[in-house]
Amino acid sequence: MGNQILKQSVGLDVSKDSVAACFSQREPDKPFRILSSKTFPSSANGFHQMEQWVGKQRCDGAALHLLMEATGVYYEELAYFLNSKGHRVSVLLPNKTCAFAKSLHYKSKTDKIDAQKLAQMSLERELPKWEPPSSNMLTIKRLCRERAELIEQKIAAGNQYHARLHSHTPEKSSLHRVKEHLKFLAKQIKSAEANILEALAQDPQIKERIDKVCTLNGVGIITAATVVSEANGFVLFKNKAQIISYAGYDVIQNQSGTSINSPTKISKKGNARIRKALYFSAITAVRHEPMLKKIYDNVFEKSRIKMKAYVAVQRKILVLIYTLYKSNATFDPKFTSTKNNPNSQKK
């Protein structure tokens, strides 16, 4: 029974422009056998080509699992596509796949090798099936992204207006057009915000949880909706360390012997949209929430770097949003301060 196929898998390393795929299978005498590796364009046409390629490799009767990482936004379209075709798709956070990859002792790192690692992991482990977020959660995410893009356009247009206004003999008609464009963008932003509120109102469960998140001073409903939707309601996350890593707030250090000892910093290898949403939230929270102000003061006192102190606050806000949303609880500063103080004990 050497030809018996116990399981088949496809590892998918997804990037902005391409998808590296590795088709492998497990047999009684070969726990990991690569049948084929190929790279496809990260586009609708490329996805269809890959699906046809998978169909040609697939053996009827053998279980087929596909695995990819939740990296940025690039994996989403492929995950939706494969799920719609009836494939069993798993999506894991990068820190989980990295931990497995370290045990394989690969010395090189390429997209092809990364796809092989994912294929092997899918063969060796029983991984949870990816469930796409609700259509309403997806709508909220897309509206929040649109709003963020409109704000970026408004900032760029404002800079344009400022530059032209202070140029030598500015052209009045040009200034007028830029002003009208700024007014238009402001209306578009308000319209997007109204649509976000409408989408929240259509899902009472999400709305209830986000309202409770907003009991944390400094976190508005748009910020909360952005963070929650970017994390797809935290369905993939089992603890706060995972959401910290996903957003790129995990701390890294470059140290070797006595010659290299760089200061610690956040990795920024994660969802930049979450970090951007929390930037202004942290500034407001430091002014209005004593517990977060204390975190800011403690970090600033040690580092004398304002940005580092604000990043510490952003990270704490993210953890609080995750905790409040998952537990469906309102913010209690007394509980938080007691939990964070090792000397506080119940009497």
pLDDT digits (tens, 9 = 90+) for 224-263: 999 999 999 998 888 999 899 889 898 876 544 444 445 6
What mean pLDDT do residues 276-303 have?
96
What residue spans in the chain does CATH classification 1.20.120 cover? 134-202
221 Rama class: left (phi>0) / alpha (psi -120 to 50) / beta: alpha
Task: Report pLDDT for 67.
Answer: 97
Please state the pTM of the whole predicted model. 0.80
Residue 72 in this model has a pLDDT that exceeds 80: no
Task: Report pLDDT for 255.
Answer: 47
**Cα–Cα dist 204/9, whole Å:** 39
Task: Report pLDDT for 1.
Answer: 42
Residue 338 in this model has a pLDDT that exceeds 80: no
The CATH number corresponding to 7-124 among 3.10.105.10, 3.30.420.40, 3.20.20.70, 3.30.565.10 equals 3.30.420.40
Confidence of residue 105 (pLDDT cuts 50, 70, 90): confident
What's the CATH fold of domain 134-202? Four Helix Bundle (Hemerythrin (Met), subunit A) (1.20.120)
Lowest mean pLDDT among 20-24, 71-75, 188-192, 326-330: 71-75
Q: Name the more confident of 67 and 269.
A: 67
Residue 269 in this model has a pLDDT that exceeds 90: no
CB-count burial class (<10 Å; 0-12, 13-18, 19+) for 50? buried
Closest among 292, 338, 340, 290 to 314, alpha carbons compared: 292
